Structure 1
Amino acid sequence: MRILSWLLIAALGLGLAACSKFQTYNGPEVTRVLVYKGERKIYLLHHDRVLKHYDMDLGFAPNGHKAKRGDGRTPEGDYAIDRRNPNSEFYLSIGISYPNKEDIARAKAAGEDPGGDIFIHGNPRRPGGRKPDWTAGCISVTNAEMREIYAMVRNGTPISIYP
């Protein structure tokens, strides 16, 4: 009876570990992330070699560079991955260093707040699924894809976002 109890506990522990949203990655370093808004594609690169690519959704106003808080646009330009949120409202997320100095200066000249909190993230916790280009300016992928991206991309990785 005691052996059966230990086997059940071990099986439960392995099952819970398999369901974890945190993966490990031991492959080549991701040296750059490229985002092509028009194609709705993200590419994870090791130098010039594509390691992985994903389809994505953008902000609810996908055309053009983010200019101010609340405009629903995804920024364009060169940034870096600068933070991680394992407890995101959107499954897992990694932060993009928007706004940069140019973004701040442009918004200030227009008398606007440039906004912030731009992330690559998974799906929302709320029920009902997702529709195309539903975020407030972030980049969204499936939760399974976000597990891979979260494991592969380190803080400090450059990210370029193109129209």
Structure 2
Amino acid sequence: MAGHGAPTAQPTDCHDLRVAVVAASWHPQLMDGLLAGADRAFKDHQVEAPVVVRVPGAFELPVVAAALASQQYDAVIALGVVIRGGTPHFEFVCNAATDGLGRVALDHQVAIGFGVLTCDNEQQALDRAGLEGSQEDKGYEATSAALLTAQTLRKVKRHTP
């Protein structure tokens, strides 16, 4: 499990950030865990009304994240699950989601929370989805990282790092 070595950042007050979540629909149980983790992070960081938009799958995350970023959101959290199968489809979807979300972050200078689980099997996803018995909570982690990054971007843009 890659969870060791994670930074320990205390939640900060992010009530003034405009935040959106774009979440895939495949693997409902896992997505419920990721969304619940995001909700816990929003509470810890005092984000009161994040917008949540659903899309069919991980491939669709970047285009909707870009649309949200263009609407002046400070942070966009992308949540999804891709589980390896027996064809190269896994690599295509994972690469498209990863590259696309990275492009959105750079093109729009917006914080993107990368909460896309890319796992070899369902057990790996269950271990990371923030469900009861999970070893990690990637929905929480991606959301917290995006919120802290949005605050940093705001400071940098104001020339007060």
> TM-score higher than 0.5 here?
no
Structure of higher CA gyration radius: 1
* Larger strand share, 1 or 2: 1
TM-score when normalising by structure 1: 0.29
* Larger helix share, 1 or 2: 2
TM-score when normalising by structure 2: 0.29
